[in-house]
């Protein structure tokens, strides 16, 4: 008899939990497009990739330290008719303003990578605003184009960072495929790593100063084209409204 009562009690509690969660989760998903709940806390997420049925991929470059291989990268993309997104640190932009202009004039998209390349999760909201507004202003004055994308240095972020960026009209962007070109991998290693990991809606991370990035880029573009992929800028890939972020960082369109 005791076993039967215990069993019924357990079943009732389980059913109540399932019903509660079925009500709660939709509310959580729609209350904030960016929020993932873990236990009693919530964490905002940047965009790592985009859920799409279309075979589209976005290539991105972080620019912070030099320009030794940038002309070659730009030439390859021009020859292959590929446009991509460059995230530029302000101290790089001021030192290499001619390249900032050239990248923009060639039709590529430019986002901010901060002003001084700090670990931005350690900054206050006011400090973050200074980093972003200063770097955005320089890019916009130089190119005449509005900055809409932001990539945190080191991929380091916090709720405050994402909220502050959003208040400035910025979408915070990470990546779903890391080329690891900053580790000076060989061109073949970079190519194999990227091509094997790309999926619909992937955002690929490169660095304009990667030692073998330019040697790998043409082959990567050709192989992905053969697989049927179209290359787009991140600003063309992401959803601008009516979306949510899944726990894996993928951006999903919400159909109203």
Catalytic residue, candidates 34, 96, 113, 207: 207
Q: How many CB atoms within 10 Å of residue 111? A: 25
Q: For the stretch 185-215, what's the b/e string if a residue is b when 16 or more beta carbons lie within 10 angstroms of its beta carbon? A: bebebbbbbbbeebeebbbbbbbbbbbbbbb
207 a catalytic residue: yes
Q: How far is Cα 81 from Cα 204, in angstroms, rounded to an integer?
A: 17
Q: Do 231 and 83 meet the contact criterion of CB atoms below 8 Å apart?
A: yes
DSSP state of 184: T
CB atoms within 10 A of CB 252: 17
- Distance separating alpha carbons of residues 5 and 169, to the nearest angstrom: 57
The catalytic position among 62, 96, 108, 113 is 62
List the structure tokens of 29: 């998903």
Sign of CA dihedral 155, 102, 218, 52: positive
Whether 156 is a known active-site residue: answer no
Query: Which candidate, 139, 92, 83, 134, places its Cα nearest to that of 111?
Result: 139
Taking the C-alpha atoms of residue 139 and residue 147, their distance in angstroms, rounded to an integer, is 7
Instruction: Return the active site residues.
Output: 62, 207
């Amino acid at each position: 008899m005791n076993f039967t009562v215990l069993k019924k009690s357990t079943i009732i509690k389980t059913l109540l939990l399932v019903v509660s969660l079925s009500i709660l989760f939709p509310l959580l998903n729609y209350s904030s497009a960016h929020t993932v709940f873990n236990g009693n806390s919530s964490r905002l997420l940047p965009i790592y990739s985009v859920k799409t049925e279309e075979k589209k991929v976005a290539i991105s470059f972080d620019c912070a330290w030099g320009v030794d291989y940038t002309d070659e990268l730009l030439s390859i993309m021009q020859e292959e008719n590929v446009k991509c997104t460059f995230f530029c640190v302000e101290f790089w932009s001021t030192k290499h303003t001619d390249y900032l202009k050239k990248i923009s004039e060639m039709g590529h998209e430019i986002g901010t990578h901060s002003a001084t390349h700090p670990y931005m999760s350690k900054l206050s909201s006011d400090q973050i605003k200074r980093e972003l507004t200063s770097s955005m202003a320089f890019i916009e004055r130089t190119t005449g184009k509005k900055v809409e994308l932001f990539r945190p240095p080191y991929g380091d972020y916090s709720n405050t960072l994402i909220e502050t960026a959003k208040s400035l009209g910025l979408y915070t962007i990470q990546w779903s495929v890391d080329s690891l070109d900053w580790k000076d991998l060989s061109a073949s290693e970079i190519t194999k790593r990227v091509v094997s990991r790309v999926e619909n809606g992937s955002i690929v991370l490169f660095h304009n100063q990667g030692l073998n990035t330019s040697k790998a880029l043409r082959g990567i573009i050709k192989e992905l084209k053969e697989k049927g992929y179209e290359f787009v800028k991140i600003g063309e890939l992401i959803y601008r409204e009516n979306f949510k972020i899944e726990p894996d960082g993928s951006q999903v369109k919400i159909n109203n």
